[in-house]
Amino acid sequence: MTLNRTILSITLLLCAASNAWASPILQAASASTNMGNFSGRNPANAINQNGLSAGYTSLVDDFDTYIASNPTHSVIPAPNNDWFSAPGTLTGNFDFDLGGAFTLESFALWDIGSNNASNVIGFNLLIADNAAFSGSTLLGSFTANPNTGPLTASLPEVFTFSATSGSFVRMEITSNNGGGQSGFGEAAFEIQDQTAPEPGSLALFAAAGLAFAFWRRTPFRSLRVR
């Protein structure tokens, strides 16, 4: 094996390995709000996967792959598939307890859809390491589309931001679609996986290491630089 070919092989293996890192989808452990709820449509309904056309396994399934499959959400039948605030309460905080510390890089929201007046429209996302949100970091200000599909098949919107670590996320709802209360169907997060490469990546790194070891053991006189 020539020097050029050895280096090329190692480079290709490392590039392939770097592309194999996953970004899993995360389901929040619990949710709460200071906006109340309407007729049993409580915050837990927005993270329980009820109403999704296809479920996911938190911290296992790849976020991008899952979203690319176009999973829809249905708010019917009520009241277990969505969250609605108390009548007359349009703005306020909806908090997610992530169940641990994670580095997040995007947020998936299934709104109510069908241009319903109660759809969440404007919101800020903040992240913190404590439930009181002291010293929180603003992830961004976003505007949701109230018409991503019918009430029975609303598609997700994905809102991205700089990768930031924390244990709690606050959705600071600033406006809705003109109704007398606010709500949405489901929410999930994309985390940046910084733990370990996938099994395929481990094999590639091992192969790269073997190639490098072979090169180191090859006498210099036998290497031809072209």
Amino acid in position 178: G
Task: Please confirm whether the linkage preceding 43 is cis (ω < 30° from 0).
Answer: no
User: How far apart, in whole angstroms, are the C-alpha atoms of residue 12 and residue 202?
Assistant: 14
Q: Are residues 118 and 148 in the same domain?
A: yes
Q: Per the structure, how many domains does the chain have?
A: 2
Q: Indicate the burial class of 220 (C-beta count within 10 angstroms; 0-12, 13-18, 19 or more).
A: exposed
Which residue range is the domain that position 190 belongs to? 23-196
Task: Decide: 146 and 182 in contact? Cβ < 8 Å.
Answer: no
Q: Are residues 119 and 73 in the same domain?
A: yes
pLDDT per residue as tens, the chain (226 positions): 454 554 444 444 444 444 446 899 999 999 999 999 999 999 999 999 999 999 999 999 999 999 999 999 999 988 889 999 999 999 999 999 999 999 999 999 999 999 999 999 999 999 999 999 999 999 999 999 999 999 999 999 999 999 999 999 999 999 999 999 999 999 999 999 755 454 444 444 444 454 444 445 544 433 333 3
What is the Rg, in whole angstroms, of the alpha carbon atoms belonging to the chain? 23
CATH of the domain at 117: 2.60.120.260
Would you say the pTM of this structure is higher than 0.75? Answer: yes
